[in-house]
Amino acid sequence: MTSIVVVDNHGQFTHLEHRTLRDLGVDVETVDNETPPAEAEADGYVLSGGPSMDRTGRAAEYLETDVPVLGICLGHQLMAMELGGRVESGDYGGYADVTVRIDDADDPLVGTLHPETRVWASHADEVSEVPPGFVRTATSDVCGIEAMSDTDRDFYGVQWHPEVAHTERGEELFENFIARCRERAAPDTV
């Protein structure tokens, strides 16, 4: 069974990330962000949302593992900052219903959502420049980088919250991430 660890950055929806993954048939565990990756081995990691970059603990260390990582909201921003991108204050604080345009129909994470989807997102802070090796995979009228991917490392980030009911097709995004985790974990059959 595929195992995914949710790294809790003290977000208000972290329990919903856990529940969604569990309901999709994944062996899921949620750990505090002070937990070192060696104590939370998995086929993939989700870096949750949260209130502040100052409270991300050891979450950045999960980017040093050789498994897929999905960053959600603050997790997305942490991924960008740690890997050489930029995060800035957004023009729109608070949560809002946003139409997101998918740039890349072939992207393993968001491609199946092409051409657009409705999401629930906060834009108090947002990625303003993707890190080296990443491409922007989604945008909106509110935020220039709603999602990003580095498919070579299987690192993915989304500004929005796929785990909440207000986001259309959120489970599909998690299913796509699970598929990447399974593909990376499967032994080479060639």
Rounded Cα distance between 38 and 44, Å, is: 13
DSSP code, position 160: B
Cβ contacts of residue 23 below 8 Å, gap of 6+?
A: none
For the chain, the straight-line distance linking the first and the last C-alpha, in angstroms and rounded, comes to 22
Relative to beta strand 116-129, strand 135-139 is unpaired
3-state secondary structure of 156: strand
**C-alpha–C-alpha distance, residues 33 and 9, integer Å:** 6
What is the number of H-type helices and E-type strands within the chain?
3, 9
Report d(CA 45, CA 14) in Å as an integer. 13
Chain-centroid distance of CA 171 in Å reads: 13
> What amino acid positions are annotated as catalytic residues?
73, 161, 163
